[in-house]
Amino acid sequence: MTSNALLMHPATWFILAALLMPVLNRIHPMLQKLTLVMVPALSIFLIYHLPESFGTVTWMGFDLVFGRVDKLTFVFLNVFTLMALIGGFYCMHVTESGQHTAAFLYVAGALGVTLCGDYLTLFVFWELMAFASTFLIWYRRKKKSIDAGFRYLLVHTTGGLILLGGILLRYRNVGVEGLAFEQIAQDGATLADYLIMVGFMLNAAVPPIHAWLPDAYPEATVTGAVFMCAFTTKTAVYVLARAFPGFEALAILGAVMALYGVGYAVIENDARRILAYHIVSQVGYMVCGIGIGTAMALNGTCAHAYAHILYKALLFMGVGAVLEMTGKSKLNELGGLWKTMPFALVFTVIGGIAISGFPLTSGFISKSMIIAGAGEAHRPVLLVMLTLASVGTFLSVGIKLPYFIWFGKDSGVKGREAYWNMNLAMCIAAFFCLFLGFGPGTAWLYSMLPFDVNYHPYTSYHLSETLQILSFTGLGFYLMVKKLTPEDHMSLDLDWFYRKGAKGFMWLAKHPVHAFNEWMDTLYRTVGTPLTLALARLFTWFDKEGIDFTIDGSARQVVEGGNKLRQIQTGQIQQYIGSAVAAVFVILAAVLLLV
């Protein structure tokens, strides 16, 4: 890659800034804070000056394309860089450089995936996203967060291996030309293509491979959750829209997603879990639009991805401010905060009405385009399912969430206004939620969409339909408010199955694999050839007792809730690592057998 191409790639600047964060913070904390907003601002400038193709490198006979720009690419680049700027403002008060390093590497991975023109480059940036975002969970430094982070990493490692298997099979079937990241026709799709699609679907949190999202996002740091809600699933939407438009399975699964996520959100108690399930629901609209595959539906997918990133980030910032100021996120532990946190209330309500599709907000002009695409494609069942999901969205996020946090029964929890930078970030996101909802803002968003489609959201039919749905949903909440009072309980999801299955896998890793490791060790001690030495060292990774992995020499100390310390024993960490490596080897072996 030439120096000019390297410098014009926005991911380059995020990677450099990520690596320099600790140095800048040591020189002066203000340098770190300025970098958090200057690099995203620079990236916004860069994306408007990118050529259609740049950064092509020939490596070992493969053409690696680091930069490919068209209208589909640009709309996602635009919102990703804008969200990076908003996130930079939101996390300026955080002094820990590691969090910013992880966040910027995460953003770099999303930008790299969006700009890539081949599957090998995509895979590298795809894995960068997975590993960088894991640290946004671990940096919360609670046992639940560390456990959730390990599960998150294992799930995404599995998804990455499935994606890699599809890429390798595609290369075997088609050759070098098959590594170009282009649209795949449904009629000619092979096993390799479906493996790639499954790898993408996992990041999009398509049921039944979605449970990692509500498991991990609520356990991330306050600022980390804001970044995570914006990039992983929407990057997956982009790659699905690029490679698999018109695939019928996506249309059906997307509609199921929209209802599935809403159903869990209505019964949830934790504010961030409610929002996490609504990511599943709202991404369902986008996946359904990709599956429908018409110009109208794909435009709606892009517009809704743009709108969703902003209003979902605003909602996570609002409840994150509450968590930051009070230390609580469960609805049954909150209430009466409207006097002490009025700014967070206003911004969260704006996010709530935007996600609910109120007129004059971004959700009204984006979500309806996908529903219109379903109607235009004569898919009445999908249209009804997507419309019904709107009811649950307004009920759970538009009304329930702000009501029980800021109003309802006063819990006695006293908060205070969030830091100025957090309020500024929420203000910017709230502005765009309203700006995109009408007039020049709508025209500006529609002009970026990949296809030329004539669509007018403000028709009398659409307005009357929306107002009726919102009015009757509000009436239903008023009549059923006592039954909707949140309670602290555990909602079982499909992750129950892989949690139970994990016990069996842990037994496999701890007993048969451990026994084989011991046998290899004995063989090494009795024979001692270079080959046995290498094999012994390889299988020692599976041994939960054979890894001398410590943070402070004996055990890892984790700060929980301020000054309270909790120790996570080294053996537990080793056990996770051994199981992770064992899983990687098993799946990789299966992939190699297919190839």
- For the chain, give every domain's residue range: 1-242, 245-493, 505-594
**How many Cβ atoms are within 10 Å of 125's Cβ, its own excluded?**
20
Distance of CA 585 to the CA centre of its chain: 26
pTM reported for the whole predicted model: 0.86
pLDDT at residue number 441: 92
Residue 574: pLDDT over 60: no
Mean pLDDT of the chain: 86
Rounded to whole angstroms, the Cα distance separating 30 from 545 reads: 44
Residue 491: pLDDT over 80: no
Which residue's structure tokens are 């590594």? 179
pLDDT digits (tens, 9 = 90+) for 267-309: 888 999 999 999 999 999 999 999 999 999 999 999 999 999 9
pLDDT at residue number 525: 63
pLDDT digits (tens, 9 = 90+) for 223-272: 999 999 999 999 999 999 999 999 999 999 999 999 999 989 888 889 99
Residue 521: pLDDT over 70: no
Q: Tell me the pLDDT band of 473, cut-offs 50, 70 and 90.
A: confident
Q: Tell me the pLDDT band of 86, cut-offs 50, 70 and 90.
A: very high
Which residue's structure tokens are 């298997």? 165
206, 287 Cβ separation under 8 angstroms: yes
494, 207 Cβ separation under 8 angstroms: yes
In the chain, the percentage of residues whose pLDDT exceeds 70 is 86
Residue 2: pLDDT over 70: no
pLDDT at residue number 534: 62
pLDDT at residue number 569: 40
pLDDT at residue number 352: 94
pLDDT at residue number 538: 57
Q: Tell me the pLDDT band of 583, cut-offs 50, 70 and 90.
A: low
**How many Cβ atoms are within 10 Å of 177's Cβ, its own excluded?**
10
Lowest-confidence segment of 63-77, 351-365, 456-470, 541-555 by average pLDDT: 541-555
pLDDT at residue number 12: 94
**How many Cβ atoms are within 10 Å of 33's Cβ, its own excluded?**
21
128, 112 Cβ separation under 8 angstroms: yes
Pairing between β-strand 555-560 and β-strand 564-569 as defined by DSSP bridges: antiparallel
pLDDT at residue number 465: 87
DSSP state, residue 451: S
Rounded to whole angstroms, the Cα distance separating 94 from 33 reads: 9
Rounded to whole angstroms, the Cα distance separating 436 from 427 reads: 14
pLDDT at residue number 549: 35
Residue 160: closest CA among 136, 133, 141: 133
CA distances, 594 to each of 6, 167, 580, 581 (Å): 36, 12, 21, 20
Q: Tell me the pLDDT band of 359, cut-offs 50, 70 and 90.
A: very high
pLDDT digits (tens, 9 = 90+) for 530-566: 665 565 555 554 444 443 333 333 333 433 444 443 4
Q: How many residues does the chain have?
A: 595
Query: Per the structure block, which two tokens stand in for 474?
Result: 């509000």
Q: Tell me the pLDDT band of 194, cut-offs 50, 70 and 90.
A: very high
pLDDT digits (tens, 9 = 90+) for 206-223: 999 899 999 999 999 999
Mean pLDDT, to the nearest integer, of 487-495? 74
pLDDT at residue number 568: 41
Residue 500: pLDDT over 50: yes
pLDDT at residue number 586: 56
Lowest-confidence segment of 2-16, 86-100, 487-501 by average pLDDT: 487-501
35, 17 Cβ separation under 8 angstroms: yes
Query: Per the structure block, which two tokens stand in for 89?
Result: 């403002």
pLDDT at residue number 197: 96
Strand runs labelled E in 12-71: 53-59, 62-68
Mean pLDDT, to the nearest integer, of 411-432? 92
Rounded to whole angstroms, the Cα distance separating 238 from 456 reads: 24
Which residue's structure tokens are 């054979």? 546
Rounded to whole angstroms, the Cα distance separating 144 from 308 reads: 28
Mean pLDDT, to the nearest integer, of 83-93? 96
Rounded to whole angstroms, the Cα distance separating 251 from 259 reads: 13
**How many Cβ atoms are within 10 Å of 547's Cβ, its own excluded?**
18
Which residue type is seen at 164?
Answer: L
Please list, in sequence order, all residues whose beta carbon lies within 8 angstroms of the beta carbon of residue 560, skipping any fewer than 6 positions away: 141, 142, 143, 566
Rounded to whole angstroms, the Cα distance separating 26 from 237 reads: 38
Which residue's structure tokens are 């890892």? 556
CA angle 221, 225, 230 (to 5 degrees): 155
- 3-state SS, 165-203, equals HHHHHHHHHHCHHHHECCCCCCCCCCHHHHHHHHHHHHH
- Side-chain half-sphere CA neighbours of 156 within 13 A: 25
In the chain, the percentage of residues whose pLDDT exceeds 90 is 62
- Side-chain half-sphere CA neighbours of 507 within 13 A: 5
Q: Tell me the pLDDT band of 518, cut-offs 50, 70 and 90.
A: confident
Please list, in sequence order, all residues whose beta carbon lies within 8 angstroms of the beta carbon of residue 83, skipping any fewer than 6 positions away: 230, 231, 309, 310, 313
Please list, in sequence order, all residues whose beta carbon lies within 8 angstroms of the beta carbon of residue 532, skipping any fewer than 6 positions away: 520, 523, 524
266, 400 Cβ separation under 8 angstroms: yes
3-state DSSP: the chain helix, strand, coil percent, rounded to 5? 70, 5, 25
